[in-house]
Chain A
């Protein structure tokens, strides 16, 4: 995952300009910004609003409506635990309690070392092999509490960069 959540108005504008010609461009633009810098900064709102000829309130309203868009930088990795029925039937309630306990954070919070942001998700479409967890873009199936711990250890093991 990205290590920096730095952004500039120029970077935001570039994402907008690449997509503004599309009908209904706002969601694609918000996705592009979040994919690039990890979140949608508050400072992006007036730039988007001006570019699309909308009010700041309209843009803010869209950002706040959708669970996917976040307005603060996440940790290095985003871990989503499925809370929906099919995973509940396979122990998701115990898994989510374990995940919060192990990471020491609740949903929508980031661990103090900035490594992991914990999120809830309602279905990852892996319902025959639950409980499921999504780490960044990879889904994991049949995640026991032990498997969750191993996953977290793996995420926290930083690869050392050797400078030649």
Chain B
């Protein structure tokens, strides 16, 4: 058999020329009369090493990266196909790369290992074991298992997933729905994308289990339109899962039905808010709904609906296959299981880091991340997306867990960690927070719609040096109004990054205005 060589095809690898690397490998091998089987796998999540080329050897897979198309000839000269290590890009056995070896991959165990669309690969790596077990359990038993795991919503709100499922199970209806929130709009987050592109059957399995648990026969994945590759992969995976009996009218001969469809968003950040998402799925403007009623009681088309983030649903197959305890054994306090952290922004070694709750930011940014890409000192880090706080150095030793972060006015959110070096102007970042809210507000409530516009103006006046003290006081009041008076997290949390910038980096708001600096 010819040697198997893996060249990833997720968005990040492709954005760094992975297709050209694959082409070059094919051509060079043919020219040299070498035989190889090219597998387009997902990414291991080690973005800084992409494109990460792997070769299967008798001793396991060995890695080379980051590989540019022009590196291919010298790699082949050095014995790439034999897994030889005498090349500057040789990384040795993939699983022994410290960045990967030090992680606790429960949800992301399979990414990069398999061909994302191969059901045979998925089954060979423990796939569909959770669904098979769920088919033998009662609906209530499935919900109990998820409750016992301690799983909380990974989209950022951290609401207990099992409780949400119980509400939907307990609400009688002629039709119920499972909706996957795949509108991953937070800057600095890409875990949902990685999961959908690299292990789509895991999400499909998680949604099918959710359907069995609450009695829903229809699921929708609401995917952002910025992810065209994830759409292509999910559509293909759904078709194959249907053909193999893991979706459709008769799941694995059980007589139970679950249908799944991908729906594309259309570039509206607000549609990541669950009620806005439901409006959008119904074909309307993505205006936020008042709560109550909760979507679990009156959700999509007025029916009981589970709305869960990609990572919440993707955690479920492990919980069912291995048992709630195996999942709950990880973590600290009331934050059980693992968190998919995403190292982004100005970072030397960016990528996906799945760890049990409780790690510190410093460990993450220094040991995993290796500091900044620019080599300059780190100054601020935004954790949890554009609606969460910027953290200064004295907060980098806090353990990452929902409660600890909430105590200091910060959030874990969806696990995005965006690093900034000392060239960052935090007043400019605060302005952007307001500007982003202005662009993306759905417009339903006044504090968000008008407050964000006024916020940009007030920060502009502060930065221009006009009536600084009065305008700083005004900005403080505006933030309070938005926080207390907005209908949803968009307007209600936009103040968090602004207030954190004001509190921790006050000097940036008192710099000489641009043009006055010498």
- Among the 9-residue stretches A5-13, A96-104, A121-129, A153-161, the one with 4 or more Cβ atoms under 8 Å from chain B is A121-129
B residues adjacent to A (C-beta < 8 A): 11-12, 14-16, 47-48, 50, 184-190, 192-193, 225-229, 263-269, 280-286, 301, 342-347, 350-351, 373, 382, 386, 416, 418-421, 424, 429, 432, 436, 439-440, 442
Q: Give residues 48-86 of A contacting B (CB, 8 Å).
A: 52, 58, 61-62, 65-69, 84-86
Q: What are 23 A-to-B residue pairs whose CB atoms are below 8 Å? A: A24-B282, A31-B266, A62-B283, A67-B267, A68-B266, A84-B386, A89-B420, A90-B373, A122-B436, A123-B226, A126-B15, A127-B189, A127-B342, A128-B343, A128-B347, A129-B350, A130-B345, A132-B15, A137-B228, A138-B14, A138-B15, A139-B14, A142-B16
Which among A30, A127, A134 is the interface contact of B350 at CB below 8 angstroms? Answer: A127
A127-B286 CB under 8 A given contacts A30-B266, A85-B429, A89-B418: no
CB of A86 within 8 A of CB of B188, answer yes
A27-B267 CB under 8 A given contacts A85-B386, A85-B429, A127-B344: no
CB of A85 within 8 A of CB of B266, answer no
A67-B343 CB under 8 A given contacts A125-B226, A127-B350, A137-B228: no
Q: Residue of A at shortest CB range from B197?
A: A125
Q: How far does the Cβ of A1 sit from chain B's closest Cβ, in whole Å? A: 14
CB of A85 within 8 A of CB of B16, answer no
CB of B281 within 8 A of CB of A89, answer no
Q: How far does the Cβ of A91 sit from chain B's closest Cβ, in whole Å? A: 9
Contacts of B420 in A (CB 8 A): 89
CB of A129 within 8 A of CB of B16, answer yes
Contacts of A31 in B (CB 8 A): 225, 264, 266
Bound: A31/B267 CA distance, A: 12
Bound: A84/B387 CA distance, A: 12
Bound: A137/B11 CA distance, A: 10
Contacts of B281 in A (CB 8 A): 24, 27
Contacts of B419 in A (CB 8 A): 89
Bound: A140/B346 CA distance, A: 17
CB of A125 within 8 A of CB of B268, answer no
Contacts of A142 in B (CB 8 A): 16
Bound: A65/B276 CA distance, A: 12
CB of A90 within 8 A of CB of B346, answer yes
Contacts of B342 in A (CB 8 A): 127-128
Q: How far does the Cβ of A44 sit from chain B's closest Cβ, in whole Å? A: 15
CB of B418 within 8 A of CB of A67, answer no
Bound: A140/B19 CA distance, A: 12
A68-B225 CB under 8 A given contacts A86-B188, A127-B342: yes
Contacts of A62 in B (CB 8 A): 283-285
